Structure 1
Amino acid sequence: MLLITSPETIVEPNQQHYPWYHEELRRVPTIDQCYTDDVACHFEANQQFRRDKMVENEILSILRQRFEDCVLYESPDHFTKCKPVLDTYEHAVDNWFTKYGDLGGYGNAKSAYMKQKHRMIWERRHGPVGTGMKTTEE
């Protein structure tokens, strides 16, 4: 007697279905954890940097859209009712610019790391960025 089984009875019950939009990529070492001659580590760090930037761009886009929807829905009282949403959006924009601003379209993980390092040195010497330079009398 020949027993014929179909893929629906054997294969499909044992498959694990992961939707593409829930894909969890592992975190790779950052650029400061890579050796200077490790090209593969540098490549992975740059790809992780690009993914993080795309995620943060989408977060900003969602926050901006929420604010615009709030303004359309709450007009003419949107100045008071949408203030928390606007504050959240502006805080996120400030944080985005602190990390990615002035890097240009070809910014990579190393340039962002150097920007962070220079900012930290500046703040140690002169205080928070935007407050002006300390003079020798201070």
Structure 2
Amino acid sequence: MQEDRPKARNALNGFVNAVYNTIEAPVVFFREKIVVPNQSDYPWYHQKYRRVPTIDECYTDDPVCKMEAQFQFKRDKQVDSEILNILRKRFEDCVLYESPDHNVKCKPLFDQYNDATENWFIKYGDLGAYNKVEDAYMKQKHRMIWERRHGPVGSGMKTNGGEAH
């Protein structure tokens, strides 16, 4: 502490330095010897959550597992929604920058945004405001059964011959 400060020029300056060191020394010691070695090293702006079991891995009588799956579902929805916002913003910026040729130059971004929107709606759409992970799981299960029986959603229903009409 004292090594990086210039030597006191007079008695008053020496007294002020002594009082300052009396207050600062314990604080510096505590920070350097206790706080810094025990800190976890991660960026303050990004909290990482461990992945928890999904709802299909939870037992029916395990409310803690269901609650964790619900929180994971909400975090995943927030992340997917933010990804959609970023893709939309990129497309809007491209349209503003490339106008009047935006129909050609921004088409890859538009297609990527539409694919992401479709996938978001497949997973989270029609679940309502108070959506639950169980409802999303049932929606996924019903969609898979439909596709097994009738082909991809939107392609028409299969007939007995196997072709869509």
TM over 0.5: yes
Instruction: Measure the CA separation in 2 of the matches of 1:20 and 1:90.
Output: 33
Shift of 1:17: 4.3
Instruction: Measure the CA separation in 2 of the matches of 1:124 and 1:77.
Output: 42
Correspondence 1:67 to 2:91: yes
Correspondence 1:11 to 2:42: no
Shift of 1:136: 2.8
Report the count of equivalent residues: 136
Once structures 1 and 2 are overlaid, which stretch shifts more, 99-108 or 57-66?
Answer: 99-108
Considering only aligned residues, what root-mean-square deviation do their CA atoms show, in Å? Answer: 1.7
Instruction: Measure the CA separation in 2 of the matches of 1:8 and 1:119.
Output: 57
Instruction: Measure the CA separation in 2 of the matches of 1:38 and 1:110.
Output: 13
Q: Provide the secondary structure at the position in 2 that maps to 1:95.
A: helix
Return structure 1 stretches of 4+ with deviation > 6 angstroms: none
Shift of 1:20: 3.5
Which fold has the larger relative contact order, with Cα–Cα distance below 8 Å and residues 6 or more apart in sequence? 1
- Structure 2: runs of 5 or more not aligned: 1-24
Q: Which has the larger radius of gyration?
A: 2
Shift of 1:67: 0.3
The one of 82, 85, 92 aligned to 2:106:
82
TM-score, length basis structure 1: 0.91
**Percentage identity across aligned positions?**
64
**AA paired with 1:98?**
I
The one of 55, 67, 83 aligned to 1:31:
55
1:113-124 mapped onto 2 (5 Å cutoff): 113-124=137-148
Counterpart position of 2:75: 51
Instruction: Measure the CA separation in 1 of the matches of 2:32 and 2:130.
Output: 51
